[in-house]
A and B are shown apart, each in its own frame.
Chain A
Amino acid sequence: MNENRDDTFLARWLNNDLTEEERKEFEASDDYRSYQKIVKASGHIMAEEFDTDSILSRVKSGRQATNATREASHARTVKLWGYGIAATVTLLACFFYFYTRDTLVSTDYGEQMAITLPDGSDMRLNARSEAVYNSQNWQEQRKIELAGEAYFKVASGNTFTVSTSHGEVSVLGTEFNVQSMNGLLTVTCYEGKVKVVTSHSEHILKPGDHFRSLDGSESLSVIKENAPGWASRESRFKSMPVKYVLMALENQFNVDFVYDQLPAEQLYTGSFPHSDVNVALDVVMGALLIEYEIRNDGTVLLKD
C-alpha cells in the first residue's frame, strides 16, 4: 500500500474526489486494476427487493394490537374464515386497551375478515376494504365509516349507520351488504329494513331489495340470494359495467389489467370464484368475449 494514501483515499477515489495528481499516481500503481475490477463487478450486485406493500398492510392491521404479540398481529389479516373469528377474539381483548381510540380494520388483496362489534353485531369485510369505528361510545352511536365492501348482521338496538363517501345507510337491526368504490354504491337488504340516503334521494329497502347508484344514476332491483356471493367466496354481478368487474378481480387476485379501451357500455351478469385466478379470468373474459393474455410481469393484457 502506498504510504501517501490516507484512511479515506479509496472512498475519495470512488467519489471522484481525488486531486488530479493523486488520481494519476493511483492509476499508475500496481493495485489500481484490481480495485477497478472489484468496483465494476460490485455494480453487478442486485439491489434487494422487499415486499413493502405487505409490510405496510401488516403494520396497519396491527394498529389496534399494541398489547398483543407480533404473532397475533400477523393473524389479524387472515385468508380463512376460521382464523378471522380467532382474530376477532384478539380484537375484542384489545378494545379494553384502546377504547378511547377509533378502531381501524382493513383487508388486503384477496383477504376477508370477520369482526364482532361491541354489541355483538357482525361485520364481514371483503377484500381491499377498510372500516373505522369507535368502540368507546358504540352503545350511544353505532356508526361505521366504510370504504370498500362489507356485509352486516346487525343486532337490534338503536340506529346503526354505515357512512360511505357515496351516501349513508342506516338500519335498526337487519342483514345487509354495502359496497362503495369509485362512483359506485350498492346496498342489498337481506333481512329487516334498510334506509339509504344519498345526496339525491332517500330509499327504504325491504328484504331482497337491491339499490344501486352508479355515477349518480340510481336504480332499484330485486335479488333472490339470502347472503352476498362473496361471503361464500364468489363475486356476483348483475348488469355491472365492466370496469367494476375488473376492479373486483383486481381486489381479489392483486392483478393489474392493461388495455387500450374498455367496451364502455357492455354490462356483465355472472360471477367468478375466488379460488383460482385463471378460472376467474376465463369465466369473466369468456362471457365478455374479450381475449386476454397473462404477461410475464403478472399484468393481464386485454386485446381488442
Chain B
Amino acid sequence: MPDPKKTLCDESEFDAFFKDQVKSLASYLYYRFGDREQAQDIVQETFSKLWQQCAEVPLEKARSFIYTVASNLFVSVKRHDQVKLRYREQAVELNNVNNESPEYQILEKEFMEKLTDAIASLPEKQRAAYLLNRVEKKTYREIAEIMEVSVKAVEKLMHKALKKIKDRIGDL
C-alpha cells in the first residue's frame, strides 16, 4: 500500500488517534448539547469524515478538525434532549451512614436531584466546562483546548457555572 509517511490513513495511527480522543469528544458533545444518542452519532460521523479525508488532514490538525466538524454538525441539528446526569447513590448514602437519620438521607438524594437539575439548566458552555472539569477531571488548559477558547475564558465559565448552580439550588 502507498503512504510511506505517518498519516491518519495508516490504520494503526488512526486507531491510536481515535482511542486518544473519542471519549473527550463524546463527553464534551454530550455535556454541551445534551442527547447521548445524537452525541454518539455525531462522533461517528465526525470520525468517518476524518477517515475519508485522512489524506487531507495532517495529524497535528486532526484534533482541531474533529472538534470543529462535530460542533458544526451539532449546531445544525435542531432539537436536543436535556442532559440527564446519573450519580452514585450509594456514595451519597455511605457518607451519612453512621449518624444520620433516614430523613436526612432522603434530603441528600433530593439535593443530588436539585444539583443535577441545576447543572442541566446551565447555559451550554458553562455546563460543558463545569462537567469536563468536575466529572471528567480535565484541567482548565485541557478544556480550553477542547472548547477552543483561552484558559481565562474557561475560568470565567467555571466561576459563572458554580455561582449559577448555587443561586438555583437556593438555601442549602
Chain A bound to chain B: yes
Q: How far is the CB of B32 from chain A (nearest CB, A)?
A: 12
Pick from B136, B155, B156, B162: contact of A38, CB under 8 Å: B162
Measured in the bound complex, the distance between the Cα atoms of B130 and A39 in whole Å is: 10
How many positions in chain A have a CB within 8 Å of any CB in the partner chain? 38
CA distance A62 to B91 in the complex (A): 42
The answer to whether the Cβ of B7 comes within 8 Å of any Cβ in the partner chain is: no
Residue contact A34 to B172, C-beta cutoff 8 Å: yes
A29-48 residues at the B interface, CB under 8 angstroms? 31, 33-35, 37-39, 41-48
Task: Determine whether the beta carbon of B163 is less than 8 Å from that of A41.
Answer: no
- The 8 Å CB contact of A45, one of B36, B51, B135, B166, is B135
Q: A33-B172, A44-B88, A56-B47 are in contact. Are A7 and B36 (CB under 8 A)?
A: no
Given A50-B23, A50-B43: A9 and B85 interface contact (C-beta under 8 Å): no
- Chain A residues near B18: list those with CB within 8 A: 52, 56, 59
- A89: CB under 8 A from chain B? no
B105, chain A: closest CB distance, angstroms: 13
B70 at the interface (CB under 8 A from A): no
The dominant DSSP class at the B interface is: helix
Counting CB contacts under 8 A, is A294 at the interface? no
B104 at the interface (CB under 8 A from A): no
B residues near A (Cβ < 8 Å) are 1, 15, 18-19, 22-23, 26-27, 30-31, 36, 39-41, 43-45, 47-48, 51-52, 85-88, 91-92, 111-112, 115-116, 119, 130-131, 133-136, 140, 152, 154-160, 162-163, 165-166, 169, 172
